[in-house]
């Protein structure tokens, strides 16, 4: 979810979003991605619009202002957890020495 | 491309009405984008087999649609363990009587003379065995409906969140014997001992002034054995009252006493101990048929008595195993 919100700071449609995530090592299948995008939109964290591109109608998603706030909070939480885990691993590594 | 349309149609069938078109349009765009990208890589149109592989990799239409549906369950993970427990209890409540009835039928059927019509009680038991199954299914269905309703009530009111550790049951000790139970056991055995000694010591038994029952000499063996058993059981109950915990020795004595009681009772069913029944005012020709009829009727209950006896002995053996395994786990 964090990765999806972060990637949608730039407007993208589902397929390119999936490719972007995949290129960054985050494989997510379409069966998970599209329901997630719908839930995030229902929660007001994303905004979407149908637009024609390359002769095909596509739904483009973009992080909403509320989504940007939630993303900042989630990132802060994630960094805090990451720091805690690092601390635990560091203490264990010292204990083993 | 027809295959893609068929796939989308199959997914659409399972989707919620209001979102059908929107989801399908997005899914269609995604599949077509994937196909077009692959075609650009290969520099040619995809074959039917390649499109089939892409669709297959996306999953069965119902599973794909299911991801877009709200997660629902008839009985959720919170109530499911309770539901499973209640279902097991319900099954046992019906299964044990069904097993008892069925085994009785099987043993009895083997003793019937060939070609003779089955007696009424046998047919009744067979009917009961059939009814027990349908009752078990109805009970399981009713439990499922009840828990499905509870699930919905819980989702709205969260009534299961209101609890306090004070109301949890006290810690159980399976080897503890309630003193109330031992007291009742002692009283019952003493009353039985006195009653048996007074009324069952003779081979001539009078019921009121008009009925006289004559028993053969084997009855006295039965009388003394049961008198001794009542005394042993009363002593065991008194010992349990003093030391209210099961020990292996206690449980083994209980097993011996129950096995002897059950064995004697089964033997009595088949022993034809009744020799004559005399009723005042009834002609001797008529009363002469009573004793053989009662003996024969009693003998038909032998299988049922045998099963009950085996169940009691089985429970006693299980108790010994439980005590020993508890002792082993304590010493480990």
Mutate to test the interface with B, among A14, A18, A19, A31 (most CBs of B within 10 A): A31
ipTM exceeding 0.85, yes/no: no
Cα B132–Cα B138–Cα B141 angle in degrees, nearest 5: 140
On the CB side of B94, how many CA atoms lie within 13 Å of its CA?
A: 18
The 10 Å CB-count burial string (b at 16+, else e) for B74-105 is: ebbeebeeebeebeeebeeebeeebebbbebb
What are the chain B neighbours of A38 within 8 Å (beta carbons)?
19, 23, 68
What is the per-residue pLDDT for B51?
A: 92
Residue A97 has pLDDT above 70, yes or no: no
Assess contact for B299 and B121: CB atoms under 8 A: no
Shortest alpha-carbon distance between residue B68 and chain A (Å): 5
Q: Give the global pTM.
A: 0.59
Q: Do B30 and A34 touch (CB under 8 A)?
A: yes
Task: Quote the pLDDT of residue B122.
Answer: 67
Spatial contact of B94 and B132, defined as CB atoms under 8 Å apart: yes
pLDDT, residue B261, reads: 94
pLDDT at A43: 92
Least CA distance to A30: which residue of chain B? B58
How many residue pairs bridge chain A and chain B with CB atoms within 8 Å of each other? 41
Indicate the residue of A32, A38, A58 with minimum beta-carbon distance to B29: A58
Helix (H, G, I), strand (E, B) or coil at A8: coil
Dig out the tokens for B155 from the structure.
């989702």
CA distance A71 to A65: 10
Place of tokens 């069938």: B13
Binary contact (A38, B68; C-beta < 8 A): yes
Q: Are B298 and B265 in contact (CB under 8 A)?
A: no
pLDDT along chain B (332 residues), means of 10: 90 90 90 90 90 92 88 88 93 80 71 65 71 83 94 88 86 84 94 92 82 88 93 93 90 94 91 85 81 83 87 93 83 70
In a mutational test of the A interface, the residue from B11, B25, B30, B68 whose CB has the highest number of chain A CBs within 10 Å is: B30
Distance from CA of A94 to the nearest CA of B (A): 36
From the CA of A2, how many Å to the nearest CA of chain B? 19
In whole angstroms, give the CA distance from residue B42 to residue B119: 83
CB contact under 8 A, B29 and A56: yes
Strand order across the beta sheet in which B204-207 lies: B204-207, B211-215, B274-279
Closest-CA residue in chain B for A59? B26
Give pLDDT, residue B155: 86
Question: Which chain B residue shows the shortest CA-CA distance from A17?
Answer: B30
- Residues of chain A positioned with their CB less than 8 A from the CB of B59: 31
Across the range A33-60, mean pLDDT stands at: 89
Does A50 contact B27 at a Cβ distance shorter than 8 Å? no
Give the residue on B whose Cα is nearest the Cα of A53: B29
Q: Is the pLDDT of residue A77 over 70?
A: yes
Contact A59 B29 (CB under 8 A): yes
CB contact under 8 A, B30 and A50: no
Nearest chain B alpha carbon to A18: B30
The verdict on a CB contact (< 8 Å) between B29 and A32 is no
CA-to-CA dists, residue B49 to B1, B4, B37, B64, B328, angstroms? 11, 12, 16, 20, 64
Q: Report the pLDDT value the prediction gives residue B152, as an integer from 0 to 100.
A: 92
What are residue B152's phi and psi, to 5 degrees?
-70, -40
């Amino acid at each position: 979810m964090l990765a999806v919100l972060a990637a949608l700071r730039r407007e993208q449609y589902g397929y390119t979003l999936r490719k972007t995530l995949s290129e960054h090592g985050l494989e997510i299948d379409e069966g998970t991605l599209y329901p997630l995008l719908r839930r995030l939109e229902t929660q007001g964290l994303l905004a979407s619009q149908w637009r024609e591109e390359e002769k095909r109608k596509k739904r483009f998603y973009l992080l909403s202002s509320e989504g940007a706030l939630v993303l900042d909070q989630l990132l802060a939480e994630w960094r805090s957890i990451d720091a805690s885990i690092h601390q635990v691993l560091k203490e264990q590594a010292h204990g083993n020495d | 491309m027809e295959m893609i349309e068929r796939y989308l149609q199959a997914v659409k069938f399972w989707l919620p009405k209001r979102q059908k078109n929107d989801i399908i349009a997005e899914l269609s765009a995604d599949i077509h984008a994937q196909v077009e990208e692959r075609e650009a890589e290969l520099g040619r149109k995809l074959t039917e087999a390649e499109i089939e592989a892409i669709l297959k990799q996306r999953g069965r239409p119902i599973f794909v649609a299911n991801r877009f549906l709200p997660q629902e369950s008839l009985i959720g993970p919170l109530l499911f363990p309770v539901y499973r427990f209640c279902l097991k209890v319900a099954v046992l409540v019906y299964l044990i009587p069904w097993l008892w009835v069925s085994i009785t039928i099987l043993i009895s059927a083997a003793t019937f003379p060939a070609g003779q019509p089955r007696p009424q009680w046998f047919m009744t038991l067979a009917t009961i065995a059939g009814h027990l199954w349908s009752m078990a299914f109805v009970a399981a269905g009713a439990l499922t409906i009840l828990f499905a309703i509870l699930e919905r009530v819980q989702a709205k009111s969260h009534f299961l969140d209101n609890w306090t550790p004070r109301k949890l049951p006290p810690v159980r000790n399976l080897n503890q014997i309630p003193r109330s139970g031992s007291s009742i056991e002692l009283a019952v055995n003493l009353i039985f001992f006195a009653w048996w000694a007074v009324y069952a010591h003779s081979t001539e038994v009078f019921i009121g002034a008009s009925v006289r029952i004559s028993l053969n000499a084997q009855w006295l063996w039965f009388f003394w054995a049961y008198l001794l058993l009542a005394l042993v059981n009363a002593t065991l109950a008194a010992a349990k009252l003093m030391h209210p915990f099961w020990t292996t020795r206690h449980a083994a004595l209980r097993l011996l006493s129950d096995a002897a009681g059950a064995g004697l009772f089964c033997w009595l069913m088949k022993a034809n101990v009744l020799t004559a029944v005399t009723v005042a005012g009834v002609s001797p020709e008529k009363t002469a048929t009573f004793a053989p009829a009662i003996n024969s009727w009693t003998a038909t209950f032998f299988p049922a008595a045998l099963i009950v006896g085996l169940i009691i002995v089985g429970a006693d053996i299980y108790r010994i195993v439980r005590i020993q395994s508890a002792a082993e786990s304590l010493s480990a």
